[in-house]
Every structure is written in C-alpha cells, then in structure tokens.
Amino acid sequence: MHKLNKYIEHTLLKSDASAEEIEKLALDALKYDFFGVCININYINYIKQFLSGSDVKIVTVVNFPLANNTIDIIQFQTQKALDEGADEIDTVLNIAELKNKNYKKVVDDIKKTKEICKNHNLKVIIETDLLTKEEIVTASKCAIDGNADFVKTSTGFVKNGLGAKVEDVKLMYKTVKPYGLSVKASGGIKTTKQAIDLINAGASRLGTSSGVDIIQNI
C-alpha cells in the first residue's frame, strides 16, 4: 500500500496515558511520518512541543467516549481544543438520541459542532458496534446533514466491541462518498492486512495505536 503511513492517526486515548507515552507517540509519528496523532485534549499543549515545525496533525476528541455531554459543553470542548492547537476534531454522535429516532437533535448537535470547527475537519464517531446496519446508514446520513467532513467507525471503548469492520466501512463509504464525506476506520486495527483491507473498503484515515507495527510489517 503506497504511503500507508499517511493514512494513520497514531492514537493514544487511554485515561492513564503518561507524559512519557505521549512523547513517544509524538516521536514515533515524526519517525514514521504519520498523518497525525490522536490524543485527549489535556495533552494538546504538551505534545505540540515535539511536533512543532512538522506536518504531523494534532487530532483530539470531544463528547468522548460516551456521547453524554450537552451541546454547550461539546461546543466549549471543541473551541478549547482548537484554541489549544488541535487541527481536527473527532466527536461522538448522540447515540441515545439516534436510538430514540430523534434525528433532528443528532443532526443539530453535529451542525453546531461543525460551526465551531469552521475549516477544521470534523469527524463523527457513530460507534458501529452499537448499531444495526440500518442505523449505520442513518447515522452516516445524520453526519452528512450536519455538514461533517468524516464519519468514523468507533471510539474503541465499547466493551467486547470489534471496532472497525470491512463491511461497515464499505457501507459507510457507499453512503457518504456521493456527498463528499470521507471515512475514518478506528478500533481494533492491529495488523498491516487489516489496515490495507479497510483502506480498500473505503477508509481514507486509520485511527490505531498499532501504527508502528503496521508500518514495520509491510
């Protein structure tokens, strides 16, 4: 796979991530020329010192991982993340309201978050492990209607979740591609074969903590 490294958002979102682990994440991203790093908001300022002058993007998450924040909190988080230096925002779709079929609320939350992001990419995590195939399509359509830039498979925090699956990525890609959105596959991506299969299914970004292994085993 040509330039597989440029698909990878080198990810560390665990709650007990240490400063040393964040530094290593940054140095690995520089060494392997990954597209970016994906970290929690509290480490944006810290990781900037290692990535200064590089083209490695800083991606962070809001309304994460449970999608249980109100829109004013999500907007505040988003603005704070951008002010701190984030280049892209990944937000979790309001899964409860999707299940309640309150699609207007789902779309409005995405739209209001994108208004804060402006020209920064907004990726909407739809948490495929919790959805039926029909709900995956519906969630993807909500992301379209909310003016998002990407749909993303998973937070990686669902207990016993499988994360990114080829058939889900294909379905998401088919749904959003005609409207100009892209797909980020995330969750459980550990091997080079998985990475390539997901790209072939339509993913243009990969969120993974196994980026180094994936590149080293091409």
Tokens at residue 55, please?
A: 């083209």
- From the candidates 90, 109, 129, 168, give the one annotated as an active-site residue: 90
Judge whether 60 and 39 are in contact, CB under 8 Å.
yes
Is 90 tagged catalytic? yes
Is 114 tagged catalytic? no
Give the integer Cα–Cα distance in Å for 144 and 18: 36
DSSP-H helix ranges across the chain: 19-31, 44-51, 71-84, 95-99, 103-117, 133-145, 166-176, 192-201, 211-216
Is 184 tagged catalytic? yes
- From the candidates 57, 123, 152, 165, give the one annotated as an active-site residue: 152
- From the candidates 114, 123, 165, 184, give the one annotated as an active-site residue: 184
Tokens at residue 27, please?
A: 């140095």
* Catalytic residue annotation: 90, 152, 184
